[in-house]
Amino acid sequence: MSDVIPQKDYKTLKFTKNDKDIIKRIKDYAIRNCRNEVTQFYITKTLNLFDFGISYFRTEILKINKSIKTRPCAFACVQKLSDNKLYLLLVCSIHNNDELGKKIMNEILLYSMENNFIEISLECDEKLIDFYKKFGFVEEKIVEDDMHYMVKILN
């Protein structure tokens, strides 16, 4: 039996390096959200490099003492490479039936198109290639440590 009563609604927050409280909360829950597949070092590096991000927060009520916590459940960090190119540094979401990873990717793509970016690139592990292909990313090459470089050209 879970000690948490999750609420149904997620709040979408866009953030930058100036949003220290949001970044701290994302960092505090990042390992959980990334399901231990990303190191704390990489998360810290990402939070130092990114230019903007999008996060979903959800309110949870703890059963033990009925306290209310608002926790990040998914986040994405993006770096601006030039006036019209973005690099997706990291996408993490807790595993649940709400498909937060897909939702946050759609938010990133929408933001990119609304702001006239023409390209988004990323590097990912082989097991994530199919996930990104569903969003129109094309594999370009294999880079260091068997990571796959993928690109999406925006219309």
| pLDDT tens figures, 47-64 | 999 999 999 888 766 666
The single-letter DSSP state of residue 38 is S
Average pLDDT over residues 39-45: 87
Residue 99: domain span = 4-153
Average pLDDT over residues 133-139: 93
Residue 5 pLDDT grade (very low, low, confident, very high; cuts 50, 70, 90): very low
Domain count across the chain = 1
Who's near 113: CB < 8 A, 6+ residues apart? 154, 155
Model confidence, pTM: 0.83
Backbone angles phi, psi at 88, to 5 degrees: -85, 110
The single-letter DSSP state of residue 120 is E
110-114: list long-range contacts, CB under 8 Å, 24+ apart: 111/14, 111/54, 112/86, 112/154, 113/154, 113/155
Residue 38 pLDDT grade (very low, low, confident, very high; cuts 50, 70, 90): confident
| pLDDT tens figures, 15-35 | 999 999 889 888 888 877 787
CATH assignment at residue 37 = 3.40.630.30
pLDDT of residue 62: 66
Alpha-carbon gap, residue 64 to 47, rounded angstroms: 33
Q: What is the largest CA-CA distance in the chain?
A: 51
Q: 10 Å Cβ neighbour count for 44? A: 12
